Amino acid sequence: MNILLLNENKIVDINENETLFYFLKRYYPESYSRYLGIKVNNRLQELANASFEENDRIEFLDIRDRDGHLVYVRTLTLIYIKACKDVFNDIDVSIEHSLNKGLYTELEFKNVVNKHQLMNIKRRMQEIIDAKRPINTYFLSIKEAEEIFWRQGMEDKVELLKYWNAENIRVYELDGYYDTFYGYLAPSTEFVDKYDLRLFYPGIILNYPTRENNFEIPEYIEQKKIFKVFSEAEKWGEIMNVGYVGALNRKIDNNTIDDMIRVNEALHE
């Protein structure tokens, strides 16, 4: 059967029982791992599970595409969290906010992470990437997902699922660690091979290539003022006990959102 491959702007033949992911690996055997996502008739799908019909228009997305870049960042984030948990025996990892064209993260660690520990995390990340570990997708009932996240000690995820507006949820799994993301991930760890880690008190910055930087890590630029603004906002969230979305939803359900607004106004004064 035929498809229109927009990357080459030509009609190509694909086996009737072949998935688009395996077609990608066959058609681009040397460079398939640069493609992170896929659009079928201009509709974004998950690369590992994309569906299509004859004569569909297919476009594979790399990191220069906005959606492809987001897949890269999410996939790298999963690998980073898994590496931290492997190095520090299932430690809690918090992805706080964007910073310096990367992600600022914190570990629930009694001491500040040092350079030696940082290198251990980076070494473990590279091991996971080099092993080309599959990233599996599961569609679970809310109850099944809650049980998994409860076992993993992810109370914030369990709280969030109470307000999930669907019967099922997409959950990703990497070597026994389960998590959810607002968007698709790559089929395996080999798809993200460029990253860097930098100590930034009291946490770690996870850097990755930008869309504009030709697949390279951008130059580091200090952004202490922006970090201070984010930190102050997080402190206010802690004071008002709304450090995550599930806690905010609970306040709305309990009709205590007005109290939170008044406290917030007082903090501004």
Task: Please state, in angstroms and rounded to a whole number, the distance separating the CA atoms of residues 126 and 43.
Answer: 32
Q: Contact at 8 Å (CB) between 22 and 51? A: no
pLDDT of 228 > 70? The answer is: no
Alpha helix ranges (H) inside 88-138: 115-130
117-128 pLDDT tens trace: 999 999 999 999
Long-range (24+ apart) CB contacts under 8 A made by 88-95 are: 88/117, 90/152, 90/153, 92/153
pLDDT at 39 > cutoff 90:
yes
Q: Domains in the chain, please, with CATH? A: 2-62 (3.10.20.30), 67-207 (3.30.980.10), 224-268 (no CATH)
Residue type, 222: E
pLDDT-based confidence at residue 222 (cuts at 50, 70, 90): low
Contact (Cβ atoms closer than 8 angstroms) between residue 2 and residue 55: yes
Question: Does residue 66 carry a pLDDT above 60?
Answer: yes
DSSP at 134: B
Q: Give yes or no for a contact between 231 and 238, defined as CB atoms under 8 angstroms apart.
A: no
The number of helices, as runs of H, and strands, as runs of E, in the chain is 8, 12
Q: How far is CA 3 from CA 39, 44, 56, 58, in A?
A: 12, 16, 5, 7
pTM for the full predicted model = 0.82
Cβ atoms of 105 and 95 within 8 Å: the answer is yes
Average pLDDT of the segment spanning 25-29 = 96
